[in-house]
Structure 1
Amino acid sequence: MKKILFPVLCLGWLMSCSDGDLQIEIIDFNDVSAQSCDSPVTTSTTLLFKINDDEALILDLQSGVLDNGVVGETVTTNSTIPSQSALTYRIFSDGITSSYFCDDIPPATPVVVEEIEAPEGMVIIETVADADGTNFVHTISLSNVTFVNDAGERISNLAVDEFGEVTTAVPASN
């Protein structure tokens, strides 16, 4: 009996051990709307984020990349990651709200459990005027984005191809 019980207990002990590493299997924000602290969003807005309960995808845009262009034309602008814009994925200890990003002093909790910055990729922004010509709609897409954690592991299941849309007003004519 002892010969059987000891190996079974050892096997159970080995299977219950954890190295404490957080395993990220998928980053999926496609069904989450992009937000900004600026209301309304302007062409000088640089911080956009998406919140999915206790996760956030943060896009820090290159200054001036939201280009209104001209009514009646489509304008496409690109910004490379990480040299011009930055894309960061964060996991928090609990759910967060936009106040985490927008308050002058961010709340002390929840805390960041893990933060991973994208080492490469492209931000593509396509801008068109809306039907009545009062706003510009900026559709923000991500291309060839990868995330690599501190252990050097590449997160390959990235479901974030369309970051979202933001709208800026057409400047008033003088």
Structure 2
Amino acid sequence: MKKLLYLLPIFLFSCDDGDVIVQEFDFENVSVDACESDFLNSNEYIFYKNNGQETIFIQFSTTDGILLENNTYGNYSVGTNNSIEYRKLSDDIPSDYYCNNIPIQGIDVLDVFTATAGDISIVTITNSETDNDGIPNELETGDYDNDGIPDIIDLDDDGDNVPTVDEGVVITNGMIDQALSRDTDSDGILDYLDTDDDGDGILTSQEDVDGDLNPRNDITNGIPNYLNPAVSDTFTTTIDTAIPNSYSRSSNLDITISNLILTDGNNEVLLGTFDFGTYISPVLTIETTGEVNTVITN
């Protein structure tokens, strides 16, 4: 089997004894794309780079949360569920070449090199993250309601089943305006951090007569019960379920392939370590589960 030495703009790789054929293998300035359909509900990932008539893709399976948490993931080794392949086609490669269930017509595959070895590793770093609650990220530190969801991605910071965005927070010059923001019971604790907004001794989350996890639509005399200190009945059904929490996240995934060997059956390409590139994920909506706060804020 002949050994092929591929030259990349940055890397130079040697090979074992045997014939050497020098060719170009240039994907350095090509962006990384992915098949993003149902990204969060699948354990299958396809990342690819298209450069004119050349393309390389990696496909692997994992239950790791590579889009959800900052971490180093892998190695995912070439095998039954993981593959790496280089192709040269007869025409420029359309963007949906790998992600379209219907085969692309009119484009022939001229060369195929398939990995016989290789390890895929990924370093995930947050690009952006927010709970869209109207409070700037830099002002949200810690986990106020101790529900395991940091305030920066918790849409209900005090765990009272009233979203923070609906609790009357006013931002002035990038800061929370203490004078203009809502403090229904005037206890010095703004409603978005007050688990008993009206100060009647009943948790806001429990002033939910119909039990639909929305205290805002339980109204007496035109005022929501949780904002009306004149209504302080203790309801017989305990609300112990939190409203669903969701937040937006985008990540940078730095992808590296090590120990990579490709073959077309007759020739072997030794690439060693290949910096596949950085994939920037779209803004994804992440669902999490919190807890109802059972402590009245003092």
TM-score (norm 2): 0.43
Partner of 2:281: 167
Q: Among the aligned pairs, what percent are the same residue?
A: 20
1:123 aligns with 2:147: no
Q: 1:68 to 1:98 in 2, by over 3 A?
A: closer
Deviates more, 1:115-124 or 1:161-170: 161-170
Q: Tell me, in whole angstroms, the C-alpha distance in 1 between the residues paired with 2:67 and 2:92.
A: 34
Partner of 1:35: 33
Contact 1:28–1:159 (CA under 8 A) maintained in structure 2:
no
Residue-pair matches, total:
149
Note the residue ranges of structure 1 that are not aligned, 5 or more in a row: 1-22
Offset of 1:157 from its aligned partner? Answer: 5.8
Deviates more, 1:132-141 or 1:154-163: 154-163
Offset of 1:113 from its aligned partner? Answer: 1.0
Structure with the greater relative contact order (CA < 8 A, sep ≥ 6): 1 or 2? 1
Q: 1:100 aligns with which of 97, 110, 113?
A: 97
Partner of 2:59: 60
Q: 1:94 to 1:77 in 2, by over 3 A?
A: same
Offset of 1:115 from its aligned partner? Answer: 1.0
Q: Tell me, in whole angstroms, the C-alpha distance in 2 between the residues paired with 1:161 and 1:43.
A: 27
Aligned-partner residue type, residue 93 of structure 2? I
Q: Which one has the largest radius of gyration? A: 2
Note the residue ranges of structure 2 that are not aligned, 5 or more in a row: 1-20, 131-248, 290-298
Q: 1:82 to 1:163 in 2, by over 3 A?
A: farther
Q: List aligned pairs for 1:15-94, cutoff 5 A.
A: 25-38=23-36, 41-42=39-40, 44=42, 45-68=44-67, 70=69, 73-94=70-91
Offset of 1:122 from its aligned partner? Answer: 0.6
Q: Tell me, in whole angstroms, the C-alpha distance in 2 between the residues paired with 1:42 and 1:139.
A: 18
Aligned-partner residue type, residue 112 of structure 1? V
Q: Tell me, in whole angstroms, the C-alpha distance in 1 between the residues paired with 2:79 and 2:114.
A: 9
Classify the secondary structure of the residue corresponding to 1:46. strand
Aligned-partner residue type, residue 140 of structure 1? I
User: In proportion to residue count, which structure has more strand?
Assistant: 1
CA RMSD of aligned residues (A): 2.8
Q: 1:171 to 1:142 in 2, by over 3 A?
A: same
